[in-house]
Amino acid sequence: MITKDKSQALFEEAQNYIPGGVNSPVRAFKAVGGNPLFIKSAKGAYMYDVDGNAYVDLINSWGPMIFGHADDAVLEAVQKAIPASLSFGAPGASEVEIAALITDLFPSIEKVRMVNSGTEATMSAIRLARGYTGREKMIKFEGCYHGHGDSFLIAAGSGAITMGEPNSPGVTVGTAKDTLTAPYNNLEAVKTLVAANKNEVAAIILEPVAGNMGCVLPHEGYLQGLREICDQEGILLIVDEVMTGFRLAAGGAQEVFDVRADITTLGKIIGGGMPVGAYGGKREIMDYVSPQGPVYQAGTLSGNPISMAAGLAQLNKLKADKDLYNRLAEKTERIEAGIKKNLKELGLNYTTNRIGSMFTLFFTDQHVTNFEEAKACDLTLFGKFFNTMLEEGVYLPPSQFESWFISDALGDKEIDQIISASYKALKNLS
């Protein structure tokens, strides 16, 4: 048994001052029936808690740490930037540099605006789409999560499902009526919605690979089908690549699936672990953003030099590493293959979904291609699996409805540990 006394004491104290004791809901481990670990430090493939336990980390700060924690190049860049002050509130050269790099790597992005989180990116993108098209409605997909902006908290994924609150109180009826929802991977449902709301839909927003109902891949032709509907109907396609951007490829899911967004939202990896988001797209659309255009959006700390330094270091490293995405996919494939072998040996028939370095083991024997199917999972089994994995030193996302994020810091030793821990955890289920 590992000791968790210090984490336990901190969690008890935290609950006096912080709602639920955490600053983001899914961290509370509520869905898996435990108490959260308080983390003291992390390096490479490992996180260390305040009780001195080490864990192989398969969350990686929910995606940003693609090279693992405390990457030397990223830390060095931040340390170099710090003495020049933490924020200017005025333009700096690093903002130009990162914008040039992002527009170079992402073919559909001609201009980009930096913000401070993925939530800000999607909120700004939808306002821009509305301002640009002069229309008010949007279509989103059940189980997709786009941050906690009001209009996205309708049938939302991620922590919103985990907490059983896919439609949050506090979102007004007026806001909710402008968000139309359709099942993921179903083009007919989108066509029906568009036909019923002719000339009223400003944007279709989606995760090109969903990570927030667990990892769910788009059917062949699905993204192209959405692109066609948008082109026919004068609707903007917003591809939310906060999770997939620079994770699946340097050009994101758009590169992998050969589809082009009108507006792309980014976050996570582009900040190297610092709070960052961005939205970008066609020049003509982005020129609608203030001060060039009429759609207002601003930020006191937007483009701050420390976040830019961290992001630039990570993106430059990733750009220079031609084999990175092959390596990440190969590591994740080994994990998947190991888990599948364990399932077979134990006579279990659970589903796995994977693309590149995103992976989910679903506790259902059916295929998972949308939110309805993800909801069929046995969450009690997931909770048991999660807790044994933790006991075995492997830190998974504490919810069935999340993707694992594999970092390049994982070596053979860690991959073997994950596979053997999963054998025990799966055996423990019966």
Residues known to be catalytic: 145, 240, 268
Residue pair 427/88 in contact by the 8 Å Cβ criterion? no
> What string marks each residue from 90 to 129 as x (binds ligand PMP by CB under 6 A) or -?
---------------------------xxx--x-------
Number of residues that bind ligand PMP (CB under 6 A): 17
Please, which residue, 115 or 328, has the CB nearer to ligand PMP?
115
Give the residue at shortest CB distance from ligand PMP: 118
CA atoms within a 13 Å half-sphere pointing along the CA-CB vector of 147: 24
Task: Provide the b/e sequence for 408-427 (b: ≥16 CB within 10 Å).
Answer: bbbeeebbebbbebbbebbe
Q: Which two tokens stand for residue 299?
A: 């930020």
User: Interface with ligand PMP includes 240 (CB under 6 A)?
Assistant: yes
Residue pair 358/404 in contact by the 8 Å Cβ criterion? yes
Q: Which two tokens stand for residue 252?
A: 């994101």
Window contacting ligand PMP (CB under 6 A); options: 130-138, 142-150, 183-191, 251-259? 142-150
User: Interface with ligand PMP includes 25 (CB under 6 A)?
Assistant: no
Residues 425 and 386: their CA atoms lie apart, in Å, by 8
Residue pair 97/312 in contact by the 8 Å Cβ criterion? yes
Residue pair 178/137 in contact by the 8 Å Cβ criterion? yes
User: Interface with ligand PMP includes 404 (CB under 6 A)?
Assistant: no
User: Interface with ligand PMP includes 371 (CB under 6 A)?
Assistant: no
Q: Min. distance of Cβ 278 from ligand PMP in angstroms? A: 11
Among 46, 141, 145, 382, binds ligand PMP (CB under 6 A): 145
Residue pair 268/244 in contact by the 8 Å Cβ criterion? no
Q: Min. distance of Cβ 237 from ligand PMP in angstroms? A: 15
Please, which residue, 81 or 239, has the CB nearer to ligand PMP?
239
Among 251, 267, 383, 398, binds ligand PMP (CB under 6 A): 267
| Residue 372: Cβ within 10 Å count | 13
Residue 341 in 3-state DSSP? Answer: helix
Residue pair 189/337 in contact by the 8 Å Cβ criterion? no
User: Interface with ligand PMP includes 399 (CB under 6 A)?
Assistant: no
Please, which residue, 155 or 419, has the CB nearer to ligand PMP?
155
User: Interface with ligand PMP includes 246 (CB under 6 A)?
Assistant: no
Please list the alpha-helical segments (H only) found in 346-411. 371-374, 379-391
Q: Min. distance of Cβ 24 from ligand PMP in angstroms? A: 7
Q: Min. distance of Cβ 147 from ligand PMP in angstroms? A: 3
Query: Could you tell me which of 322, 331, 327, 373 has the C-alpha nearest to residue 351?
Result: 373
Exposed/middle/buried for residue 57 (C-beta within 10 Å: 0-12, 13-18, 19+): buried
Please, which residue, 243 or 425, has the CB nearer to ligand PMP?
243
Residue pair 166/222 in contact by the 8 Å Cβ criterion? no
Window contacting ligand PMP (CB under 6 A); options: 98-106, 206-214, 353-361, 415-423? 206-214
Residue 332 in 3-state DSSP? Answer: helix
Among 61, 212, 302, 342, binds ligand PMP (CB under 6 A): 212
Please, which residue, 29 or 145, has the CB nearer to ligand PMP?
145
Among 78, 201, 209, 243, binds ligand PMP (CB under 6 A): 243
Tell me which residues touch ligand PMP (CB under 6 A): 62, 117-119, 122, 145-147, 158, 207, 211-212, 240, 242-243, 267, 277
